Amino acid sequence: MKTLLRLLAPLALAASFIAAPASAADIKGKEMMLPASERQVKVEFYRAPGNAKRPTVLMLHGGQGWGGAEGRFENFQDYAGQLAAKGYDAYLVYYYSEQDIADRKANAPGVSIKRFPAWAKLVSDLTADVKKNADSNGKVALVGFSNGGNLSAHATPLDSNIDAAVVYYGGVSRVPGYTANRFPPMMIFHGEADTREPIERGRKLYDTVKALGGPVEFHSYPGINHGFGQNLGTAAADDAFKRTLAFLGKTLEGED
């Protein structure tokens, strides 16, 4: 019996390593280009481990792109890696064109207002494309930060193919003539001390979604300013991320 146990011990040890779940640090992003009608779109892809069919999360950056005044790029990468470790294929989407970047640097007026329709079409194109992946379970959510949160609120009513949205410090679309007639399930986060996107915009989005019958949650954080969402390891960000995972599990995987 002792001989048999000695023989089985290395196998058990090896199995324990095989079964160990991947951590966010183990999951590295891969840059690639995805097709869209306006142009090919650069993304950084964080693939969830395993071969089971799984949901997809498209992450949308703020006004400064991935990084800048709204948070260090590595923090957003960490967020994407955390999502992947929890079983979601996560994409950091670079939805700005070269002209958008130039206009932003030049402080050109009204860039977002002018470009939201084209960006929303781009998001719809990506949603349709990633749903075709063999590993996809057919469900896609948006997680948008600041300008990306505004874009999520603009894009989701236009495309029933988008199954859910998480909006960090965003609000109702300010594009002239824009009217939302529906929303998918949505979760909204806002700092009560936000000096860039006042919390009233988040509350207005909540009221709009609720009035149209969409399932919606709103969570605010006292004393917290703009850009907190990706700073995992801080209280507000960790609470929001925990709620995001529960929301995604319920809306994309049917978890209770």
* SS3 of the chain: CHHHHHHHHHHHHHHHHHHCCCCHHHCCCEEEEECCCCCCEEEEEECCCCCCCEEEEEEECECCECCHHHCCHHHHHHHHHHHHHCCCEEEEECCCCHHHHHHHHCCCCCHHHHHHHHHHHHHHHHHHHHCCCCCEEEEEEEEEECHHHHHHHHHHHHCCCCCEEEEECCCCCCCCCCCCCCCCCEEEEEECCCCCCCHHHHHHHHHHHHHCCCCEEEEEECCCCCCCCCCECEHHHHHHHHHHHHHHHHHHHCCC
Residue 140: how many CA atoms within 13 Å on its side-chain side? 25
Instruction: Please check whether residue 121 is in contact with residue 38, taking contact to mean a CB–CB distance below 8 angstroms.
Output: yes
Q: What is the pLDDT of residue 19?
A: 43
Q: What is the pLDDT of residue 23?
A: 78
Q: What is the pLDDT of residue 192?
A: 98
Q: What is the pLDDT of residue 9?
A: 47
Please report, in tens digits, the pLDDT of each residue of the chain (256 residues total).
Answer: 544 444 444 444 444 344 446 678 789 999 999 999 999 999 999 999 999 999 999 999 999 999 876 678 999 999 999 999 999 999 999 999 999 999 998 989 999 999 999 999 999 999 999 999 999 999 999 999 999 999 999 999 999 999 999 999 999 999 999 999 999 999 999 999 999 999 999 999 999 999 999 999 999 999 999 999 999 999 999 999 999 999 999 999 876 5
Q: What is the pLDDT of residue 21?
A: 60
How far is it, in rounded angstroms, from Cα 237 to Cα 191? 10
Q: What is the pLDDT of residue 25?
A: 76
Angstrom CA distances, 229 to 18, 87, 226, stand at 33, 20, 8
Tokens of 146: 């600041």
Q: What is the pLDDT of residue 12?
A: 43
Q: What is the pLDDT of residue 253?
A: 84
Return phi, psi of residue 66, to 5°: -80, 95
How far is it, in rounded angstroms, from Cα 213 to Cα 161? 18
